[in-house]
């Protein structure tokens, strides 16, 4: 049994939150540069250049990549041999609260969907937990902006819709969104499970390495095909036209009911903020 001081968790959440909001992931920066070279629309090239310039300036000046610093989503992998000395959810929210205040990050959470009164510290975080073997705690912090989240959806297709039905849903969604989710985007797709499982699969897909591919043969093929087809839609960087609408498509799959084909699409803007730590 390993006892973990929750002050370590609070500090980890604090540092990961600020890091995610200030510092672009290096692999994402590489993707932007690579797609910039392939972009045929002169305006599209300029837009990608400005995105890169913005991201590097944010890193240098220690300021947010984007004014929308999102709702803080936290993924936890908790080893079955880990024991906490208190309420881990309280510890996480304390880290978020301090990070948003000290880091001068915009507070975007309202206490009620209809009252719309700001909580003034961006809490509560949205927390997903998974129990795994071992004595470690893995933390992923992902501040998720509203623009890309608003384009996301869950659709209960039927088995007869098949792969072509999934493709149509994804392509129609992204084409209709245009520049709203701030492309070039990363597309997370969850297929299977049920309504809530598909949504979680899609969110988890956005946490994957940009350079990986699904371990499922069918999903890996679909990832490649959809990335190519999305980038033929002509939406382009920030909706100004071009062939760089998406940087990656990530698909997670799960067993489902014989009568169902749940599909969730979770769109991520070009900032793609998420950081990981293992305690």
165-187 tens-digit pLDDT: 999 999 999 999 999 999 999 99
**pLDDT level of residue 260 (50, 70, 90 thresholds):** very high
Match 């937990």 to its residue by tokens. 129
Report pLDDT for 218: 97
Distance between CA atoms of residues 255 and 53, nearest Å? 43
**Encoded tokens for 192:** 């299977």
CB of 208 closer than 8 Å to CB of 250:
yes
Give mean pLDDT, residues 76-99: 96
Distance between CA atoms of residues 235 and 243, nearest Å? 7
Report pLDDT for 148: 94
Give mean pLDDT, residues 54-72: 96
C-alpha distances out from residue 144 to 19, 67, 218, Å: 14, 12, 28
**Over the stretch 228-249, which tens digit does the pLDDT of each residue have?**
999 999 999 999 999 999 999 9
**pLDDT level of residue 55 (50, 70, 90 thresholds):** very high
Distance, first Cα to last Cα, the chain: 14
Question: Using alpha carbons only, what angle is made at residue 149 by residues 264 and 31, rounded to the nearest 5 degrees?
Answer: 90
- pLDDT above 90 for 127: yes
**Over the stretch 128-162, which tens digit does the pLDDT of each residue have?**
999 999 999 999 999 999 999 999 999 999 999 99
Q: What predicted TM-score, i.e. pTM, was given to this entire model?
A: 0.95
- pLDDT above 90 for 12: yes
**pLDDT level of residue 85 (50, 70, 90 thresholds):** confident
């Amino acid at each position: 049994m390993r006892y973990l001081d929750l002050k370590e968790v609070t500090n980890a959440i604090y540092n990961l939150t600020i890091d995610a909001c200030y510092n672009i992931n290096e692999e994402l920066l590489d993707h932007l540069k690579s797609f910039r070279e392939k972009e045929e629309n002169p305006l599209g090239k300029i837009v990608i250049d400005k995105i890169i310039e913005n991201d590097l300036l944010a890193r240098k000046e220690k300021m947010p990549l984007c004014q929308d610093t999102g709702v803080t989503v936290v993924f936890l992998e908790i080893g079955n041999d880990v024991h906490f000395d208190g309420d881990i959810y309280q510890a996480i929210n304390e880290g978020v609260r301090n990070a948003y205040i000290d880091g001068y990050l915009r507070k975007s959470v309202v206490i009620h969907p209809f009252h719309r009164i700001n909580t003034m510290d961006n809490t509560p975080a949205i927390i997903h937990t998974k129990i795994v073997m071992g004595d470690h705690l893995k933390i992923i912090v992902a501040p998720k902006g509203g623009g890309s989240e608003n384009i996301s959806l869950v659709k209960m297709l039927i088995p007869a819709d098949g792969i072509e039905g999934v493709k149509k849903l994804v392509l129609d969604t992204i084409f209709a969104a245009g520049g709203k989710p701030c492309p070039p985007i990363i597309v997370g797709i969850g297929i299977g499970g049920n309504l809530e499982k598909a949504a979680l699969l899609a969110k988890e897909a956005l946490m994957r390495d940009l350079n990986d591919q699904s371990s499922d043969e069918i999903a890996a093929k679909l990832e490649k095909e959809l990335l190519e087809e999305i980038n033929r839609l002509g939406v382009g960087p920030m909706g100004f036209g071009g062939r760089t609408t998406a940087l990656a498509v990530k698909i997670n799959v799960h067993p489902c009911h014989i009568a169902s084909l749940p599909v969730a699409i979770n769109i991520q803007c070009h900032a793609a903020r998420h950081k990981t730590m293992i305690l």
